[in-house]
Structure 1
Amino acid sequence: MLKNKYNPKKILIVDGYNVINAWNSLKKKSEEDLQVARETLVSYIQEYSKIKGYKAYIVFDAYNVKGCDEKIEDHHGITVVFTRENQTADSYIEKFISGLSKYDEVAVATSDYAEQQIALGKGCSRISSRELIYDLKKFKDDIRKNNKGYIKEYNTMNRLENRIDSDIFDKLEKIRRKK
């Protein structure tokens, strides 16, 4: 007898403006140009979700925007949601997580205490905005450290440019490029 196996998904849901306002550099960007701050957050979440294996959703509310309809966009694998008029990101996220399977691994990134409690009550894990920022910075630092090791290794290899005079190397390089 064959049983259908459900493949649980790893899902990250980010309260966009909550994270932007908790992150000093993004908050400063948002004061100058909100669109740039949103795009920067999306690019950070793209990196983070790839590293952690999440399918990511970023929710921006349009609570005070008159006549705004819900808009869902795909940004290179990240789903960005702009809620409709008079809908908060909190209510959208609550409805969204209610529709997911109980087997999915869902994390909600927000510093809103009430939203965290709702997420926990629905079986999701919560990531505070500060934790998310810390994790992102840590992963970026780790990647930089790893890349420095590769650069150092490349520079110490037994390569021609490391063994001959730089003038001779430049002349050989010019000859090579002419052909």
Structure 2
Amino acid sequence: MKNDGGPSKMDILLVDGYNVLHSVYQELLAELGHARDKFAADLAEYAAFEGVQAILVFDAHSVVGAADRSELLVEGLEIVYTSEGETADSFIEKLAYRLVRQGERVFVVTSDRMEQTVALGTGAYRITARELGIRVKQTKQKLRDETQAATRRDRRELASHLSEDVAARLDKLRHKR
């Protein structure tokens, strides 16, 4: 387990999609499809970086004729749309119970107090939507920092290959102009 108490390699995140969208991605909710896609992409990036399996669950319980369907967006992220009459909460509760019984470390991501209580009762851990939002943002920053550092290391500038003496003499010549 990591020092910050969060999920570590091979842990499973069960994420209540709309709960997190309404808590973390409010500015994007005018276009719900875009908000879902943005969140899924951010979560996939987080899951890949942290080495966890994320299962993002969206309600379709009020969609007439909706059938339970699941898709693997990328390695590490599965998106599940519940069937008609089934809420994301009930789907997550059942899956958390089953996975914990199989010996998995499960983290349920929701800000719904009742859902948190039920998740803890199954033996799962909980992460609030806000906490996940912070972790995702931190991961994005780490990735930017690592990319910038790698770019700087890969630059092939002459100055980085000169001895201090040669660099000083060239600098002196440059300033004589």
TM range (shorter): 0.7 to 0.9
TM-score by length of 1: 0.76
Deviations 1:69-126 (A, max 9, x none): 1111111122111111121110010111122143211111111111111111111111
Q: Please report how far the alpha carbon of residue 27 of structure 1 lies from its aligned counterpart in structure 2 after TM superposition.
A: 2.5
Structure 2, unpaired ranges of 5+:
1-8, 161-166, 168-177
Matched residues, number: 152
Equivalents in 1 of 2:115, 2:127: separation in Å?
Answer: 11
Equivalents in 1 of 2:55, 2:15: separation in Å?
Answer: 6
* 2:65 aligned partner, one-letter code: G
The residue number in structure 2 matching 1:62 is 60
Q: Please report how far the alpha carbon of residue 159 of structure 1 lies from its aligned counterpart in structure 2 after TM superposition.
A: 6.8
| 1:93 aligned onto 2:92 | yes
Give RMSD over aligned pairs.
Answer: 2.4
| 1:16 aligned onto 2:14 | no
Does the 8 Å contact 2:105/2:124 carry over to 1? yes
Structure 1, unpaired ranges of 5+:
1-7, 164-179
Equivalents in 2 of 1:19, 1:87: separation in Å?
Answer: 18
Give percent identity, aligned residues only.
Answer: 34
> Residue 107 of structure 2: SS of its match in structure 1?
strand
| 1:9–1:146 CA distance, 2 compared to 1 (3 A) | closer
Q: Please report how far the alpha carbon of residue 9 of structure 1 lies from its aligned counterpart in structure 2 after TM superposition.
A: 4.5
Equivalents in 1 of 2:81, 2:43: separation in Å?
Answer: 16
TM-score by length of 2: 0.77
